[in-house]
Structure 1
Amino acid sequence: MHSSVVSNSLCRFRLVSAATLVPVAAFALALTLLGTPPTALAQQAAVKMVATEAALSPLAKGLKQDMEYLASDELKGRSAIDPAIFQARDYLVKRMSEIGLQMDSVDGTPLQPVTIATPSRIDDPTKNTCQLTVGETVVELEVGDGFTPLILGAPKQKVTGPLAFVGYGVTSLDPPYDDYAGLDVKGAIVMMIRKEPGPNDANSPFDGKKNTSNAFFASKVKNAIAHGAAAVILVNDQASIDELIKVQERRIGQEQGRIAGLEKALAASDVENPNGKQRQLKRSQQMLKSLQGGIQASRRGLLAIDAAGSPDGESRAIPVISVARDIVSDLLKAAGQQSVAELEGQINRTYKPSSVILANSEATVSVDLTNPSFTSENVIGRLPGKGDLADEIVVVGAHYDHVGMGGTGSLAPGTIAVHNGADDNASGTVTMLGTATNLTDMLQEVASHRTVLFIGFTGEERGLLGSKHYVKNPVLPIEKTSSMLNLDMVGRLKDNELYVYGVGTSPSWKQVIQRANAEFGFKLIEESGGYGPSDHDSFTRSSVPVLFYFTGLHNDYHRPSDDFDKIDFGDLARITDMVSKAAFEMVTMPQRPSFAQTPKGVQIRKQRMVYLGVQLSSDAPPVTVVSVLPGSPAAKAGLEKGDQIQKIGKAVITTNNDLQSWVRARSPQENFEITVLREGQQQRISGKLEKRPD
């Protein structure tokens, strides 16, 4: 931690004045546009100017300093099961202490331990061995070089037996097919290809190109156990290898292009933010190296330790390992058989098994995997209540963990690189700290208010573990917890749109969020549901009314590219101030908000990636086109001013939000058909959506 990060922090968070927000509120009126016409660019520039000014304020500077540390490479992506999470924990403790919160809620400390089960792993590679013998051919394999034990199978076991090749390892009644027909594999170590016969055949009797349950890893292992096999060797199928390599080559090309662009930018004499670009360059070079190394293993078809999924009661009965495709081919040829590719192709063409027990063969497989646990902590700071409301509690929470160096939770498969998690969820964490400072000031002269717990949750990325643990083990009674406000991914505001979930969990919430937003002018997108993949869900399930603020999913989500440099701290300061006002009302409202149950199905929104290019009338029906952006998809399709939009595809459009929701779920180059009422006549207009201008 750099000492400059935490200096003078007590005075750096303050509400920005309403005067600086007037241009932003005015800008919100133009946001019914589903695109970025030239007239809006000037408005966006004005907003960016306001954001730059706000970034100089004590609030935005404090948010920026906090995030610069929490999203730094030093913290290695803040995995809840990596010791680097302790640095983030200690930083939260220090910042909460500086704000003036009481730090003794858990047996005199601010730390609530949460034990997290970690994936099986290899502690001692020498105890994980594989020796394969066919005639005079003997192959001894090491972990990572031709063989990987898989957590799907037994964690600790050593077996020896003859080798058998059993095709896809499938036994099916419909369609009738059995790779084990006429074969006695009791005590044998069976080698099988991933998936099922004819995976790319639209006319395959196994439901065409769709996988049936026969293709599932666990199904294959259970079938092997039912036939008496002593162990399973999984051999990756060629189609899966090709697809993975294609993805990796594309990502390598993208990374090489990104590196070239950054190097060119850094070579310019007028380069902006050189330190930030140097950090990006370093991360891109790290990622490129990881991708280039990973593609070699991919070509051999070696599966990662967790690639076949987690074990269940049955699959843990025998060892399950992955062996490189080229090694299995060599063994088959040594036994006088065809290669894996030839056998795979033959089965796919004929839908007839090609199984065989290899003569003069023996295999010894030894696996030794551990299932350790790791303990990290929820960090709890308390702002004591006063007066008649002091016994009730409001929780303001944000998870501070992320996905570490990749692996579990990462959407950049095969990449070992720091996933900094600036938006997810350093943004929510620093907003929580800013809200804590604001509320401390705002409540000083208030005679009666609820106790506020500010909680940095661990383990959210591994299944909301920190918040689940808290509601089962609350430091103050959960039945006296009147509400919970959750902050997760609030750092990437786009089009001034701010999502608020949980509005339906209390009849009080709609007015609370609207009053808080009155001077800030966000375009609030209200969602009733209180469930979903973030920590508010744990409180909803405990019948606590919740609000969850969120700026939307984006293409950097759970990838190494979720970087500090992509956060607009002016916008984040506005969100922090608005959230502080909402929290203030939650803490001071005379009557405890009542809880209302909401449906469990919740759609987590993604920021719009495409645009249509129309400006719409006010939200009252009918949805009418006010103007069409020249050159936009709407213009090319033939939409005109005055058209009343009735349907798009099968979706009935009655409000502007209906149309915006439809567009938000689409991708570039998707076709659309819009039904409009034009001069009293119904018409259908077709076109193609395009990538949204930056």
Structure 2
Amino acid sequence: MGNPPMKDVKTLRRLLALLILSAIFVFPSVATRADDEKALRITPKAFLDHIKILSSDKYEGRDTGSKGQKLAAKYIAGKLKDWGVPPAGDNGSYFQKFPYSGNRDIVGKPVLKARNGRSTFRMKYARNFTPMTCSADADIKKVPVVFAGYGVDAPDKNYNDYTGIDVKDKFVIIMRKTPWPRDRRSRHAYFRTKLEVAKKHGVGGVIFVSNPKSGAAELNTLRKNADRKRMPFPVFYITGKAANRLLSRDKQTLEKLESKIIDSGKPASFPLKRTTIDAKVKLKEKGVGTENVVAIIKGSDKSSGNEHIIMGAHYDHIGVGSSKGKAKIVYHGADDNASGSSGLLVIARAISDMNKKPKRTIVFVWFTGEEKGFLGSIHYTENPALPLKDAVLMINMDMLGRSKDGYLWIGGADTGKDLRPVLEELADASGLDVRLTGSAGGSSDQVPFNRKNVPNLFFNSGMHKDLHRTTDTVDKINAEDGARIVNLALDVAIAVADGGKKHEFNKTESGRGSRVFMGLAGMEQVEKGLQITGVVPHSPAEKAGLEKDDIIISINDKEIKTNRDLYGCLRGKKPGDVLKMVVIRDGKEEKISLKLDKR
């Protein structure tokens, strides 16, 4: 008879997985679910259609509180109404509204000018600097300047960038991140923490700077961060090149100062000689408010009470910016996160179309304000449609559209007791290259639910160079794999909704579970291997000589094509072990030895 066609094999694998799970979780019969097979299978076209719309120019990048965000909310609510999915927002509507006044417009032309003796450096708005929307209004001149390292005051780590310097009523230049490259999730890295510390020390203004190579492209994104609370002093963000020009009179560079701090573990703060700053900025409050979109499909088993699954995705992005010769450029956010929003829409429709609904209730939430610090998900966890104590699982979908070779990361597999077996069976049947990690890692809307002790999963198809850039467009969406990822999320939701047991919350450590540290800030799958999109300063990767845009093709004589290949090479490794790597750099192969460090 020969080998069966691949399609039939996948079908058999899926049916086998469902049979196994039904024995464990008391599913309805496979025959019953087979009646809904047409409704349950989401097509690439259905997945792509909503992404095209939500990422189009009409929605202007869907910045929180903007006209585009509100249009997107209406679009989502309109589709739910057309499909007969009941609302679960305020007063019988789909919208869960809450105050938001963080959006502020710049009035007039801001000024940031440095003076040093007879020399003047007039920075250009949107090219060298931008005010941040947490800034106070100001019109000040000849303010002294102090370089204050990372702006960290951390008694718990015996580190203080403000020790030995006078910053009273002066501008401080502060680098992003922390002096501890491996501690990227530290609260000391947050804008808000740095600003509150600066306020405590009585500064007259803050000038943030990223890495030495940072340019104008990131100014629009960063302008809108840390913007929920206005500070009592002006706050600006400048490029790395602009910062180096300010430091040049003191014969310093960001690179030198960063290396000195990290290598020594000690601050390197100092006052800039004879340099003063003139600054002018005025911001206008919008006070527009914002809204989550919430819908609900009641469970078919009344005995389950309020037990429910929450499925979520943020639909906001970062809006619009400006560029040379253009009045406005749109940050489309096709993958981040029109893809997750679309996935949630088609899942809601699929479940609504089912002849027999899942046993437990399913709540759908499209979150606003994720890019501003999980505003929508925080608001929902404080004002849930159903009590969170009855939430069996939260599934968050963020960036599902750029999978390479079927890659999918699902974080949080161990946040619910006995949840991992469900995921393993369904992941195997999906045909996707799924990597499960136990922790509730990832920086997205599952985080507030994890804090509330709700078991949670984070579906993500991987990072890429277009994140928060105008190049995150619909033409780059992998709709085939995206639809398979959405179908898997749907299968998981139904499996848990129909399961006989409730998965009790397990607290897990943050991170992705690896005991060793390489120092790769990002990777992207390309034809020849894994391309490095960033290297953590002073990490094992940097010390080994790895560079941005290097393509890893083998490790310890094992071919590297996918993220899973890389993680497989790290499995069982200990700090101090050496990886023998081959990379392609400028078209030529190079051999690299990397000594792993402790995470």
TM-score between the two structures when normalised by the length of structure 1 = 0.55
Distance 1:21 1:190, change over 3 A: same
2:345 counterpart (409, 433, 448): 433
How many angstroms does 1:688 deviate by?
A: 2.3
* 1:36 corresponds to: none
Structure 1 segment 212-611 matched on structure 2, within 5 A: 243-244=213-214, 343-345=249-251, 355=273, 367-370=281-284, 372-386=286-300, 387-405=302-320, 417-442=329-354, 444-445=355-356, 449-602=359-512, 606-608=523-525, 611=529
* 2:64 corresponds to: 80
* 3-state SS of 2:90 partner: coil
How many angstroms does 1:91 deviate by?
A: 1.1
Residue deviations 1:340-383, cap 9 Å, x none? 898444999xx99885699xxxx997654345544221111111
Distance 1:110 1:660, change over 3 A: same
Distance 1:541 1:691, change over 3 A: farther
* 3-state SS of 1:505 partner: coil
Distance 1:179 1:357 in 2: 16
1:660 counterpart (555, 559, 566): 566
* 2:264 corresponds to: none
Contact 2:339 2:401 in 1 (8 A): yes
Contact 1:164 1:356 in 2 (8 A): no
How many angstroms does 1:400 deviate by?
A: 1.1
Residue deviations 1:101-148, cap 9 Å, x none? 1125421111001333426543x328x78999999x9x9x99949997
Distance 1:108 1:357, change over 3 A: closer
Amino acid in structure 1 at the alignment position of 2:386:
L
Distance 1:23 1:415, change over 3 A: farther
Structure 2 spans left out of the alignment, 5+ residues: 15-37, 150-159, 176-192, 257-268, 514-520, 531-551, 572-576, 588-599
Distance 1:590 1:62 in 2: 31
Distance 1:318 1:581, change over 3 A: closer
* 3-state SS of 2:378 partner: helix
Distance 1:110 1:692, change over 3 A: farther
* 3-state SS of 1:479 partner: helix
Distance 2:500 2:327 in 1: 52
* 3-state SS of 1:511 partner: helix
Amino acid in structure 1 at the alignment position of 2:356:
E
* 3-state SS of 2:330 partner: coil
Amino acid in structure 1 at the alignment position of 2:567:
S
Distance 2:379 2:476 in 1: 32
- Does 1:125 pair with 2:31? no
Contact 1:80 1:401 in 2 (8 A): yes
TM-score between the two structures when normalised by the length of structure 2 = 0.63
* 3-state SS of 1:76 partner: helix
How many angstroms does 1:527 deviate by?
A: 0.9
Distance 1:59 1:611, change over 3 A: closer
Amino acid in structure 1 at the alignment position of 2:439:
G
How many angstroms does 1:596 deviate by?
A: 1.7
How many angstroms does 1:503 deviate by?
A: 1.1
How many angstroms does 1:659 deviate by?
A: 5.7
How many angstroms does 1:190 deviate by?
A: 6.9
Amino acid in structure 2 at the alignment position of 1:523:
D
How many angstroms does 1:496 deviate by?
A: 2.4
Amino acid in structure 1 at the alignment position of 2:108:
P
Distance 1:380 1:352 in 2: 51
Contact 1:501 1:527 in 2 (8 A): yes
Distance 1:566 1:659, change over 3 A: closer
* 3-state SS of 1:467 partner: helix
Q: Determine which structure has the larger strand proportion and give its number.
A: 2
* 3-state SS of 1:534 partner: coil
* 2:539 corresponds to: none
Amino acid in structure 1 at the alignment position of 2:457:
L
* 3-state SS of 1:455 partner: strand
How many angstroms does 1:84 deviate by?
A: 0.4
Distance 1:375 1:505 in 2: 33
- Does 1:89 pair with 2:73? yes
Amino acid in structure 1 at the alignment position of 2:445:
D
Residue deviations 1:656-694, cap 9 Å, x none? 9986217699xxxxxx955xxxxxxxxxxx45223799x
Amino acid in structure 1 at the alignment position of 2:480:
G
How many angstroms does 1:515 deviate by?
A: 3.6
How many angstroms does 1:453 deviate by?
A: 1.1
Contact 2:129 2:237 in 1 (8 A): yes
* 2:86 corresponds to: 102
* 3-state SS of 1:379 partner: strand
Distance 1:490 1:342, change over 3 A: closer
Contact 2:525 2:563 in 1 (8 A): no
How many angstroms does 1:321 deviate by?
A: 7.3
Distance 1:417 1:457, change over 3 A: same
- Does 1:116 pair with 2:100? yes
Distance 1:526 1:415, change over 3 A: farther
Amino acid in structure 2 at the alignment position of 1:565:
D
* 3-state SS of 2:457 partner: strand
Distance 1:657 1:146 in 2: 36
* 2:50 corresponds to: 66
Residue deviations 1:527-555, cap 9 Å, x none? 11124312222222212222222211122
- Percent identity among equivalent residues? 23
Distance 1:132 1:555 in 2: 33
How many angstroms does 1:158 deviate by?
A: 5.5
Contact 2:143 2:278 in 1 (8 A): no
* 3-state SS of 1:540 partner: helix
Distance 2:237 2:585 in 1: 41
* 2:35 corresponds to: none
Structure (1 or 2) with the larger CA radius of gyration? 1
The alignment yields a C-alpha RMSD, in angstroms, of 5.8
Amino acid in structure 1 at the alignment position of 2:395:
L
How many angstroms does 1:466 deviate by?
A: 0.9
Distance 1:691 1:415, change over 3 A: farther
Structure 1 segment 27-38 matched on structure 2, within 5 A: none
Distance 1:692 1:481 in 2: 51
* 3-state SS of 1:660 partner: helix
Distance 1:176 1:545 in 2: 40
Contact 1:120 1:371 in 2 (8 A): yes
How many angstroms does 1:569 deviate by?
A: 2.1
Distance 2:377 2:495 in 1: 23
Residue deviations 1:547-591, cap 9 Å, x none? 222211122222222221122322222223332222112212223
Amino acid in structure 1 at the alignment position of 2:507:
Q
Distance 2:133 2:42 in 1: 52
Contact 1:155 1:370 in 2 (8 A): no
How many angstroms does 1:19 deviate by?
A: 7.6
* 2:178 corresponds to: none
